[in-house]
Amino acid sequence: MNKNIVIVCFLISITLFYRQVRAQETFINTVNMTYLDKLIATAKKNYPEVKSRQSQVKIARSTYNQTKFAWLDGLTASYIYSPQNLVNQAKPSIFKGYQLAITLNIGQLLRNPASTNIASESFKIAQYQQAEYMLSLEAQVKRSYFTYLAAMAELRLRSGAVTDAGTAVKQLKYAFQKGETTFQIYNEQLTTYYNQNAFMLQAELATWTAKTNLEELLGIKLEDIK
C-alpha cells in the first residue's frame, strides 16, 4: 500500500509539473518584430489583392490626367488654301494662300471642370482604399503570425506532456508487473497518455493550419524568408 501511495504521489507531482510548465509557457518571448516586419513587407509585395489595388490607383490617376486636358477636345483646327491665281465668284475672298481656322466648343469647355473634379475625387478614393487595404493586410499578417506562434507554443506543451505521460506509463507498467501498483492506476495513466497523444495531433494540425494561413498572405514559404 505504501508503494502505491508513493506511485500516486509521483503521478501527482508529474501533473503539477506539467501544469506549472504550461502556466509558464508563452509565445510572447518568441515574437520577433524584425522578422514580422519582413513578413508584412513580403505580403505587401506578393499578395495579388495589393497588385489589384495598385492597378486601380494607376487607372484612376491616368483618367484624372486625361480629364485635365480634355478641354482640348473642344478645339477644332482647320485650314483653307486659296491659290493666288484663283478667283472664286461665288465666295470671293480677299485672303490668298493658307488660312487657319480654330473653333471652340463652349459646352465641352464648361463640362470639363466638373469632369476633372470627379476624376480627381475618384483618384483620391482609389488611394484611400489602397491605404486602407494596406493597413488591413498588415493586421492580417500580424494576427496570422501570432496565431502561428501560439500554435507552436501549444504544440511544444503537448509534446512535453506526451513525453511525461509516456515516462509515467513505462514506470507504472514496470510497477504493475511487479505487483507494486493496481491495474486501475496503470490503466488511468495509460488513458492519460493516449489523451495527450490526441491533444498533440490536434496541436500539430493547428500549427500547420496557422502556417498555411500565414503563407497564403505572404505568397511564399516561411522558410524562404530569412
Residue 143 near residue 114 (C-beta atoms within 8 A): no
Backbone φ and ψ of 73, nearest 5°: -65, -25
Residue 188 near residue 165 (C-beta atoms within 8 A): no
Kindly list the structural domains of the chain, giving each domain's residue range(s) and its CATH number in brackets, ordered by start.
2-72+111-224 (1.20.1600.10)
End-to-end CA distance of the chain, in Å? Answer: 58
For residue 1, name the pLDDT band (cuts at 50, 70, 90).
very low
Give the H/E segment covering residue 78.
strand 75-82
For residue 182, name the pLDDT band (cuts at 50, 70, 90).
confident
pLDDT score at 63? 82
Strand 97-104 to strand 75-82: parallel, antiparallel, or no bridges (unpaired)?
Answer: antiparallel
Query: Whole-model pTM?
Result: 0.69
Q: Give the model confidence (pLDDT) of 68-119 as tens digits.
A: 665 555 555 555 555 555 445 455 555 555 555 556 655 555 556 677 788 8
